[in-house]
Amino acid sequence: MLVLTRRPQETIVFPAFHTTVHVVSVQPNAVRLGVEAPAEVRVLTGEAAGRGLRPTAGPSAEPATLLQLDQLVQKRLDVARLGLAELRRRVESGREEDAEIILSKIDEDLNLLQRRVRRESEKAAPRPLPVRKVEVHAGPRLPR
């Protein structure tokens, strides 16, 4: 087992699966993680997997509802605000290297959000019906 230490706003990337795990927040008895994964990657908690349950959340072939998309955007913006607050503290304390790392993480998170919103809007966009082109040729005129 690989054991990693991460701080809020930091990530773990699984490039082979095109999946990123974000540390959203850390509290005394809980760590909130966000998982960004393609629809074909099944994401389960350990407890759900042990019970044979379906995925708790994640991208699906169905477009997200407007409410779900709004909630996603709000959560990600809240995370960005936390990151900016931490960035401000690091800059004020003269820790420019740490500030640069946090800034790149915020940028990465906002880029992921942009891709997700674009992907969801493409799923929800009405697709035009295929148009069948028919050529009409005038035949010879018949005598009257």
Write out pLDDT tens, residues 29-75.
888 899 988 877 788 888 877 776 554 444 455 666 778 788 888 88
On whether the CB atoms of residues 101 and 87 are closer than 8 A, the answer is: no
Beta strands 30-36 and 19-27, pairing class: antiparallel
Residue 61 CA to chain centroid, in angstroms?
Answer: 14
Residues in the chain: 144
Q: At what angle do helices 96-124 and 66-92 cross, to 10 degrees?
A: 170
Task: Give the pLDDT score at 3.
Answer: 86
Tokens at 106, concatenated = 């915020």
Task: Give the pLDDT score at 94.
Answer: 92
Q: What is the average pLDDT value for the chain, to the nearest integer?
A: 79
- Evaluated on CA atoms 2, 106, 71, 117, the torsion sign reads negative
Q: Which residue, among 21, 46, 42, has the nearest Cα to 32 in the 3D structure?
A: 21
Decide: pTM greater than 0.75: no
Task: Give the pLDDT score at 1.
Answer: 84
pLDDT at 138 over 70: no
Task: Give the pLDDT score at 58.
Answer: 47
Which amino acid belongs to residue 55?
Answer: P
